[in-house]
Amino acid sequence: MILLSVSRTQGRRLGVAAAAGGLLAALLTAAPAAAIPDPGDSPASGKEVSRSAQAEAREAVRSGEIPGQDEIVHSGNIRHVANIPKDALPGTNSDLAFQGRYAFAGNYDGFRIFDISNPKAPKTVAQVLCPGSQNDISVSGDLLFLSTDSSRSDSSCNSTTQPATEKSSWEGIKVFDVSDKHNPRYVAAVETACGSHTHTLVPERRNVYIYVSSYSPNAAYPDCQPPHDGISVIKVPRKAPHKAALVGFPVLFPGEGPDGGGNPGGPTNPGVAKTTGCHDITVLPSKDLAAGACMGDGILFSIKDPERPEVIDRVQDNVNFAFWHSATFNQKANKVVFTDELGGGGGATCNAEIGPNRGADGIYDIVGTGDRQKLVFRSYFKIPRHQADTENCVAHNGSLIPVKGKDLMVQAWYQGGVSVWDFTDSSKPKEIAYFERGPLSTERIITGGSWSAYYYNGYIYSNDIAKGFDVLRIDDRRTDPARRVHLRELNVQTQPDYFD
């Protein structure tokens, strides 16, 4: 593996010729990745691109315009300090959570626990086989939670795939006791409508509430009926997690008709996902606020009563946003960054043809107070390095880097790598650091790259779909103050008050 420190400009021209014609139209009208009955437990085998795109990718590698396969490039202020390849769990790596000296890494085949007391040499503590995409993961105290979003024969870790058209099929939340990190113990499961694509914790002293995001109902699915216009809420007693239970399904998009009142999508809004639930929710408990990325809508809502969240404001972007995927508050709770997962995460959208405003972040200011707060659009941000048309790349999961008075974020972009950027001026965001690998292939789009990139206690941790668990260190005067902030626990979608 070759480590390089290079600088590349925004003028990188990859994708202009190859994306001409049908590719752009296909990306803009294609449906995003959805909660289908059984998306499988391993990455897609890939799809070939045009000969011109292949030739362009090979020439870009030959000329040094993009890194070659298995080659790493990064800005001068980032160092790659460790990589732990995938081991007993060969499926797609997904999200990350942290507690003390441990990192918890989701995988479509289960989850892995790392000891990161020495970030330069992480050690595997446990690997748990429990298939069920996408195994979105979080921890709170002695409890670990996994999202299952593929139809299974039952709720056990020995289940097999089964059609969602069968009433006996199961999808939802699994609960583990991880008081002994070396021996996690499965203690409970709660079935939820349309499964659990992602989930978000709202922790209290005695209970943990879980907001379950799922979508894509179908009249043929007994446990996923339209309209699916809200979220499932689960209550888990800390001292009796086996009593975890569904306590409600608050409707976030009330309206007439079979699909509720969310964004109707196409043909009314061509290229935009129809809202049939939420993809991801981020809560800021210290402010009693939550932000929802809900397919065709972005929402701001109050969680003063965690069992009965109430929508405060709702926005759409029917020009540039195809699929509202995730959300991040800044520390002052006067901004929200929403991501657009154009192409569902499997497309090559970081090229010149797609441009800087699609498959990007949308930065919104929060203005007003209380229940009169409003989301006001300010700008888009997208990584400035164009990727080859064989690289899946789009805005994905990231977290704040806690520096008082600044709005800094680290973010995953699949094969676009890891980007650190500054949105202190919400109208003029800018990248300040990056790390990326060359394409997995110059002939096919093979799903890979960083799924999640999060800052935790002085280091950046990235779960790469194909390459495993990466640890990065950023040395920059703008981010250095964050090293003084140490957390005991971090679930990124449950944002802490870093400076309380």
Query: Alpha-carbon distance 13 to 11, whole Å?
Result: 6
Number of domains in the chain: 1
What average pLDDT score do residues 236-257 get?
95
Task: Share the mean pLDDT of the chain.
Answer: 91
Is the residue at 497 inside a domain? no
Burial of 371 (0-12, 13-18, 19+ CB in 10 A): exposed
Query: Alpha-carbon distance 175 to 238, whole Å?
Result: 11
Return the bridge partners of 174, or none: 146, 189
Given this model, what pLDDT does residue 45 score? Answer: 58
Given this model, what pLDDT does residue 9 score? Answer: 37
Helix or strand holding residue 450 (H, E)? strand 450-456
Is the residue at 500 inside a domain? no
Report phi then psi at 445, rounded to 5. -85, 110
Please answer whether residues 406 and 461 qualify as being in contact, where contact means their C-beta atoms are separated by less than 8 angstroms.
no
Report pTM.
Answer: 0.93
Given this model, what pLDDT does residue 14 score? Answer: 53
Confidence of residue 11 (pLDDT cuts 50, 70, 90): very low
Question: Between the CA of residue 346 and those of 43, 91, 449, what are the distances in Å?
Answer: 10, 16, 11
Is the residue at 364 inside a domain? yes
Please answer whether residues 371 and 289 qualify as being in contact, where contact means their C-beta atoms are separated by less than 8 angstroms.
no
Confidence of residue 46 (pLDDT cuts 50, 70, 90): confident
Is the residue at 182 inside a domain? yes
Is the residue at 44 inside a domain? yes
Is the residue at 57 inside a domain? yes
| CA proximity to 212, closest of 309, 305, 127 | 309
Confidence of residue 4 (pLDDT cuts 50, 70, 90): very low
Confidence of residue 10 (pLDDT cuts 50, 70, 90): very low
Given this model, what pLDDT does residue 256 score? Answer: 74
Confidence of residue 300 (pLDDT cuts 50, 70, 90): very high
Q: Which tokens go with 267?
A: 């043909």
Report phi then psi at 404, rounded to 5. -60, 130
Q: Does residue 460 surpass a pLDDT of 70?
A: yes
CATH code of the domain in which 475 resides: 2.130.10.10
Q: Find the domain containing 386 and state its range.
A: 2-490
Residue by residue, DSSP assigns 54-100 as HHHHHHHHHHTSS--TTEEEE-TTEEEEEEE---S--S-EEEEEEET
What average pLDDT score do residues 129-142 get?
97
What average pLDDT score do residues 469-473 get?
98
Q: Which tokens go with 172?
A: 């939802």
